[in-house]
């Protein structure tokens, strides 16, 4: 019994990581109405950057973030101005195709540079990678996992405050509503979108750091991270910030329980729960429509 409780707790904590990686994807979707298929690959780029700084230059991964996060922000800005902005003008299909092309380029450049070896940032953060608080004999909470979860809450809360309380945040929301009309009230939609992409990539950088610390990664690890981020974002309701955290937790708990059933269960259960939520939502929509129709008819 305690084993299951422990698995659920671990799943919730894992959900914190998924929320971190999913919030950038969800944020970009809500602002620019596009899904960046290079999202996962960019997180791996950040993880490798942190690895190089830690391994070659002796940085602690946390202090290395001071260098990597601004670099990710610049990358986001440049990416938006050079590729994404242009692709969005081509209609709905082009962003999918161009960001997929970009992910292939990034993955294989990383492979070219770093080879097939798996890396981890765990050796550079000493006891934080394995330390935990023991609650009972069967229940423990890893310090890194707890830190990730807290970071997720802080990032989501920070984004929420930023979007509601700051001028730029309000501009981003206005641009998301109607990119053409905001020009009339003196907002430069291109700059606002570039700023949003920069912010999204900062969260991607943080996700890359946590991924590197809690697990191993290699050049081709971007694809699975994109899928997890997407699943968490969709389960939580694409475009909703706090929904991302709930989506992450649902995905994390599903995977964690699945892993307890069988070794392959981790991924399978995650995907099945994702599809079930998707199916359920569509089904509920149909029931909802029928219900509304019935109400209207009787009224």
Q: Residue 51 or residue 274: which is nearer to another protein going by CB? A: 274
Q: Residue 70 or residue 224: which is nearer to another protein going by CB? A: 224
Q: Residue 70 or residue 115: which is nearer to another protein going by CB? A: 115
Q: Pattern of binders to another protein over 5-44, x per CB under 8 A?
A: ------------------------x----xx-x-------
> Kind and range of the H or E element at 141?
strand 140-142
Handedness of CA 224, 226, 231, 236 (dihedral sign): positive
Nearest CA to 156 out of 33, 9, 18, 43 is that of 18
Rounded Cα distance, 152 and 149, in Å: 5
272 binds another protein (CB under 8 A): yes
Kindly indicate which of the ranges 2-10, 128-136, 145-153, 267-275 contains the residues binding another protein, using the contact rule CB under 8 A: 267-275
Kindly indicate which of the ranges 82-90, 188-196, 203-211, 244-252 contains the residues binding another protein, using the contact rule CB under 8 A: 82-90
Sole binder of another protein in the list 147, 174, 215, 268 (CB under 8 A): 268
Beta-bridge partner residues of 132: 142
* Burial letters 12-43, b for 16+ CB under 10 A, else e: bbbbbbbbbbbbbbbbbbbbbebbbbbbbbbb
Q: Residue 166 or residue 264: which is nearer to another protein going by CB? A: 264
Q: Pattern of binders to another protein over 202-231, x per CB under 8 A?
A: ---------------------xx-xx--xx
Backbone angles phi, psi at 134, to 5 degrees: -90, 120
- Site size toward another protein (CB under 8 A) is 45
264 binds another protein (CB under 8 A): yes
For the chain, how many helices (H) and strands (E)? 11, 2
Question: Is the CB of residue 24 less than 8 Å from the CB of residue 50?
Answer: no
Q: Residue 6 or residue 98: which is nearer to another protein going by CB? A: 98
Backbone angles phi, psi at 133, to 5 degrees: -95, 130
Tell me how far, at minimum, the Cβ of 37 lies from another protein, in Å: 7
Handedness of CA 199, 33, 170, 237 (dihedral sign): negative
Site residues for another protein per CB under 8 A: 29, 34-35, 37, 83, 86-87, 90-98, 100-105, 107-109, 111-112, 223-224, 226-227, 230-231, 234, 238, 264, 267-268, 271-272, 274-275, 278-279, 282
């Amino acid at each position: 019994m305690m084993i299951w409780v422990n698995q659920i707790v671990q799943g919730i904590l894992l959900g914190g990581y998924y929320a971190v990686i999913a919030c950038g994807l969800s944020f970009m979707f809500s602002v620019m109405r596009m899904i960046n298929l290079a999202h996962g690959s960019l997180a791996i780029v950040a993880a490798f950057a942190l690895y190089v700084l830690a391994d070659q230059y002796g940085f602690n991964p946390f202090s290395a973030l001071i260098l990597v996060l601004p670099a990710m922000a610049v990358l986001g800005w440049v990416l938006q101005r050079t590729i994404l902005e242009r692709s969005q003008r081509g209609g709905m299909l082009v962003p999918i195709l161009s960001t997929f092309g970009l992910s292939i380029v990034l993955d294989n450049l990383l492979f070219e540079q770093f080879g097939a070896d798996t890396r981890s940032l765990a050796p550079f953060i000493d006891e934080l990678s394995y330390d935990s608080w023991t609650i009972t004999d069967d229940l423990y909470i890893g310090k890194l996992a707890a830190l990730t979860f807290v970071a997720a809450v802080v990032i989501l809360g920070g984004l929420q405050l930023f979007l509601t309380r700051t001028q730029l945040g309000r501009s981003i929301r206005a641009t998301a509503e109607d990119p053409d009309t905001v020009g009339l009230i003196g907002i430069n939609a291109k700059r606002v979108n570039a700023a949003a992409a920069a912010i999204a990539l900062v969260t991607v950088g943080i996700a890359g750091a946590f991924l590197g610390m809690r697990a191993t990664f290699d050049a081709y690890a971007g694809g699975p991270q994109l899928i997890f981020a997407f699943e968490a974002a969709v389960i939580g309701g694409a475009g909703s910030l706090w929904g991302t955290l709930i989506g992450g937790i649902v995905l994390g708990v599903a995977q964690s329980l699945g892993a307890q059933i069988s070794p392959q269960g981790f991924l399978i259960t995650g995907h099945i729960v994702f599809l079930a939520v998707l199916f359920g939502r569509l089904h509920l929509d149909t029931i909802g429509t029928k219900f509304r129709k019935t109400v209207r008819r009787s009224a």
